[in-house]
Amino acid sequence: MKTSIPGPASPLISMSGVCKRYASAGASFDALRDVSLSVRRGEFVAVVGKSGSGKSTLINMLCGIDTPSSGRIEVAGTAVHALDQEQLARWRGRQIGVIFQFFQLLPTLTVAENVMLPMDFCHTYPGAARRARALALLAKLDIAEQADKLPADLSGGQQQRAAIARALANDPPILVADEPTGNLDSGTSDDVMRLFAALAKEGKTVVMVTHERELSHYFTRTVTLADGAVVGETRAVA
């Protein structure tokens, strides 16, 4: 499966006419309705909206975790909607780094081992080089001294930094974050947001679901969803 990363002038993420319908017991529910959205390399985009607006469904579409009922999704040069499950798993491991609200670090592995795990699955780096890369990422995120500790021995902010390092392990062009500050205090939230903003300036594309409006100054663009549809976009003032 060949993937080509679009240049700065082309969207890295493109959704066109995406709909997602769930049906059960004779009823149906439209989680997404005719969503079209483009995101370019280096953008830090917030997806906001009330509970049930379609934010999580949108993120799942971008990650290939769920598939659209209709419409097209192209991410990092790949028609994601056309891939089968095996292809999706391989593509996602190399192209998308996912950060969760509750960190999702494996409790029986050290922090360094958690960061090495995506490299082990995707074989993106030689086995002998994986620990060195994990340590370099942890150093970049200022928690190198925590490398050989278990996640339970770290603070919430340190665990989220470890989760970001893990998301960066395979050097994906896109980071997707689902309420990554929802479990953190305000000071630690600001630290994590500055990290995301710095990664976007380095060229990563960051798409983040959030309900915390006070973080809006970190984003280059905010996309608002309501009832499964895009109802507004706001760009940061330069």
Distances from the Cα of 106 to the Cαs of 109, 112, 116, 212, in angstroms?
6, 11, 12, 27
List the chain residues with pLDDT less than 50. Answer: 1-2
In a domain, 32, yes or no: no
Q: Locate 107 and state its tokens.
A: 């409790």
**Single-letter amino acid, residue 131:** R
In a domain, 25, yes or no: no
Distance in Å from the first CA to the final CA of the chain: 39
Please, which residues bridge with residue 74 across strands?
14, 79
Residue 237 has a pLDDT of 66
User: Is residue 26 packed enough to be buried (19+ CB in 10 Å), middle (13-18) or exposed (0-12)?
Assistant: exposed
Tally of domains within the chain? 1
In a domain, 220, yes or no: yes
Residue 9 has a pLDDT of 57
In a domain, 172, yes or no: yes
Rounded CA separation 113/158 (Å):
15
In a domain, 160, yes or no: yes
Rounded CA separation 152/143 (Å):
14
Q: What is the DSSP string of 122-187?
A: HT-S-HHHHHHHHHHHHHHTT-GGGTTS-GGGS-HHHHHHHHHHHHTTT--SEEEEESTTTTS-HH
Residue 161 has a pLDDT of 92
Residue 102 has a pLDDT of 83
Strands 221-226 and 70-75: unpaired
In a domain, 57, yes or no: yes
Are 11 and 72 contacting, i.e. CB atoms less than 8 angstroms apart? no
Q: Please name the residue that has the structure tokens 């919430």.
A: 156
- Give the residue numbers spanning the domain of 169: 41-67+82-235
Are 87 and 3 contacting, i.e. CB atoms less than 8 angstroms apart? no
In a domain, 53, yes or no: yes
- Domain holding 58: CATH number? 3.40.50.300
- Predicted TM-score (pTM) of this structure: 0.88
In a domain, 75, yes or no: no
